[in-house]
Amino acid sequence: MYKNNLILQALKGDITSQIPVWLMRQAGRVLPEYRQTRKKAKNFIEFVKTPQLAAEVTLQPVDILNVDAAIIFSDILVVPEAMGLPYSMAEEKGPIFQNFIRSASDIQNLKIAHTDQYSYVIEAIQLTKKHLNNRVPLIGFSGAPWTLFAYMTEGKGSKTFSTAKKWLYSNPSESHQLLQKITLSIINYLKDQIKAGADVIQIFDSWAGVLNKSLYQQFCIPYLKQICNEIKEVPIILFPKDGFFALQDIQQLNYNAVSLDWTIEPEWVIPLLPNKTLQGNADPCLLYANEKTIEQETIKMLNKFSSVPYIANLGHGLYPDIDKEKVRFFIDIIHNFKR
């Protein structure tokens, strides 16, 4: 059905002869073309809420970088907003929520997100699918319940998310109520993305790493389980950033693939995650190096993953000041690698 379905083959568990690649934050400031399109909107939120612009920047990395999948340009904070917590995005800084969750009654006031509250994402997916014209699959996404909980209780970004963790330790039953509402919202959101044409789903648990095994078992695994058991239509990838302690529990869940951050050694993780497709995990900062170093390190990574179903990616998103030519170089090495 697709001119290039390498990613779908790898997600089915095939060891593809050519290794597919896409990059987290591929639709972003690394591309001068993105920065041009970005100028057409007043601010980040208006940009995300304009389907024509979102579709335009979603397609750019497919045309310019030759990646094997597109990922819809949006943000994980669409879901908290749809539940009733509007935010603003401070330039260079990150999100700020005007109202965030401070008490149990704030949780009661939240809505379960529904199509009407995020229809602009659904339109952007439909438009992108039309323009992609089956060249490559389209990835839809959501934040994981815990990562969204973290922003919704903290009210902004944080290094420690200690306010969010305070909820888990001091108000576990209210925390579970909030996590359940977020989970139901995520399931609605993902089902609508799939109906609109998303071919793959990725769940970003970007703040897994501030927890530990026990907290992850109590407050993350049950909700991640609900999500993967509800999303049966398309393959689903989980990215538990810095969550090495959670991998044994994740292995028990029905995710087709696990995306790994750059701290994880392939030799260590391969026996832990049998029957899963692995994705990752170059350090994004590798792309600041010279071409010789990028080539050596990338080939080392590809060799280490070459015995398992695998999608090449970074261990986290591209940084805005990485040179676009280095990104192209990285992708070309992967495509030219012979297994």
Residues designated catalytic: 25, 29, 38, 75, 151
Closest separation in Å from C-beta 235 to ligand 1CP = 17
Which pair of tokens denotes residue 272?
Answer: 């832990």
CB of 16 to ligand 1CP, least distance (A): 22
CB-CB contact of 50 with 127 (8 Å): no
- CB nearer to ligand 1CP: give 64 or 89: 89
Residues 6+ apart with CB under 8 A from 85: 97, 99, 100, 101, 110, 152
User: What's the CA gap between 252 and 229, in Å, rounded?
Assistant: 12
Residue number of the CB closest to ligand 1CP reads 157
Q: Of 266 and 315, which has the nearer Cβ to ligand 1CP? A: 315
Q: Tell me how far, at minimum, the Cβ of 41 lies from ligand 1CP, in Å.
A: 9
Whose Cβ is closer to ligand 1CP: residue 28's or residue 155's?
28
Give min distance, CB of 307 to ligand 1CP, in A.
Answer: 28
Nearer to ligand 1CP, 14 or 63 (CB): 63
Residue with tokens 């597109």: 70
Give the span between the Cα atoms of 60 and 334, in whole angstroms.
19
Cβ-based nearer residue to ligand 1CP, 13 or 317: 317
Binding interface with ligand 1CP (CB under 6 A): 24-29, 38, 44, 71, 73, 75-77, 89, 94-95, 141, 157, 204, 206, 317
230: which residues sit within 8 A by CB, 6+ positions away?
187, 190, 191
Q: What is the DSSP string of 48-104?
A: HT-HHHHHHHHHHHHHHH--S-EE-S--TTHHHHHHT--EEEETTTEEEESS---SH
CB of 15 to ligand 1CP, least distance (A): 26
